Every structure is written in C-alpha cells, then in structure tokens.
Amino acid sequence: MTVLPPPPDFRLDGKRALVTGAGRGIGLAAAATLAGAGAHVTLVARSGDEVAAVATALAARGDAAESACLDVRDLSAVSAFFADRPAFDILVNNAGTNRPMPMQNVTEADYDAVLDLNVKAAFFVAQGAARGMIAAGKGGSLIHVGSQMGHVGGPNRSLYCASKWALEGMSKAMALDLASHGIRSNTLAPTFIETPMTRPFLDDPAFRANVLARIKLGRLGTVDDLTGAILFLAAPASSLVTGTSLVVDGGWTAD
C-alpha cells in the first residue's frame, strides 16, 4: 500500500502569539491571521485604543484575543510586560518606522528614531519572548518583519536599509543561539505594501511609478499578500525553517 504524506499543518490551536505594532497595517493583518488559525493573540502598540478595537473585533468573530498598550522602545516596560504573562509560542516582531531622506540630511535624532525602534526595540522584544520560550521549554517561532530593503539599497533609505539589514543579521544569529531550544528565527521581507505608513509616499505619482517599475509582477503589495507567509512561518508547516528570510517582493530583488 502506498503511504501518502499528511497535508501541511497550518493550525495554531493552543498557541499563544504576540504581535507588536498590531493596530494597523501588517501587524493588524498578522494578528487576524494567527487568531483565525486558532492562536490566542496578544496585540500591542503605543496606540492602545487601536489595538483594543482590533482585539474586540477579533473576539466578536469568535477568536481569542487581548490587547495591551506598550511602547516597545521602553525597555523597562517591555521587561515588565513579559514578566506578567505566560510564555508566548509565536512572536511577530512588527513595530517599525521610517524617515526617508538623503543620507547627507540625516540628523542624530533621525538615526535614533529609526534604529532605536527597528533594531534595538526589536532585539529586546525578541529576547523577552525567547527567554519565556526557553523557560517554558516548548520552543517557538520568532518572525521579524523586515523588508526587501534589508537585501538591497535604495535612494533616501540609508537609515531604513541600515535597520533592515541589521535585522537580517540579528535574526540569523538568533536562529543559531536558539536552535537547541527548538526556537526558530526568520524574517519576512516584503516589498512596498499599501499601509497607513507607506500611503503618504505612494501618493506621490513619481515615487509610485518608480516602485511599480521595479516590482516585476507589476503591482504594489497588500497585507493579504503577506498573511500566508506569516502563517507559514508561525505554523508547524515550517518546522525546519530557521535563519532565513522569506522575501515577498514581486521580483524586486531578483533583478
């Protein structure tokens, strides 16, 4: 008799997921996706009202969700947040920002704003989640939301590229440190996705045309283009995937 392999497992029943920057855009979509797959999702952001509204909407459709107001740049608050909660199984490390400008115009304040959130805060949120996973002894998945700009360069993107390239290296090193504990670390590297953060830039016709010319599939991304990748990296279906980057860029970096 031919033995057929089982279908891939994308269910997250009984898992606890944490999503940062979850009030809108990619974070909101990630939270809704993980909750829909059965995870209990904790949504955090500086804007407490936004994540509370998302958690309420998820609960209304029958999902398990809660929210907390947390500025991930406040490392004391981050430490207290993890100390007060059971270990998470999944982290979507999504909070981030951008200040596009020519490198010669960058100030120290600009540098600190981007690198403190995109790298420093991301590191210590991941550390807090990983410590909990190690203490619980049950493994887990760290998903860091990077960018295609962590694989290439771009005009007016010196700070953003610096932060996202750093995130790629950070994730690979974390994968090596954490593999013996059954914890996986990967990045998700999207192209330009239409979100509240990118909309002001994409509203510029010249900028939009330049972006579309570089995306080989000929369209901008939406958050729906990312949710399958997020679920894959979170789920048992990707249990042998660690230390890599899942690039969802419509072919931008293939050229």
**Tens-place pLDDT, residues 154-172:** 999 999 999 999 999 999 9
Instruction: State mean pLDDT over 197-222.
Output: 92
What distance in Å separates the CA atoms of residue 34 and residue 140, rounded to the nearest whole number? Answer: 14
The correct answer on CATH 3.40.630.10 for the domain covering 16-247 is no
User: How many other C-beta atoms can be found within 10 angstroms of the C-beta atom of residue 77?
Assistant: 13
When pLDDT is cut at 50, 70 and 90, the band that residue 143 belongs to is very high
- Mean pLDDT score of the chain, rounded to an integer? 97
Whether 22 shows a pLDDT value over 90: the answer reads yes
Q: Could you tell me the pLDDT band of residue 196, with boundaries at 50, 70 and 90?
A: confident
Residues 6+ apart with CB under 8 A from 121: 72, 73, 75, 78, 95
Domains of the chain, by residue range, sit at 16-247
Q: Render the burial of 12-44: b for 16+ CB within 10 Å, e for the rest.
A: beebbbbbbbbbbbbbbbbbbbbbbbbbbbbbb
200 pLDDT higher than 90? no
Residues serving a catalytic function are 160
Model confidence pLDDT, tens digit, residues 24-82: 999 999 999 999 999 999 999 998 999 999 999 999 999 999 999 999 999 999 999 99
The whole-number average pLDDT for the span 194-221 is 91
**Side chain identity, residue 224:** D
pTM as predicted: 0.96
Q: Looking at residue 198, what is its pLDDT?
A: 85
Using one digit for the tens of pLDDT, what is the confidence trace for 239-254?
999 999 999 999 999 9
Q: To the nearest whole percent, how much of the chain has pLDDT over 90?
A: 95
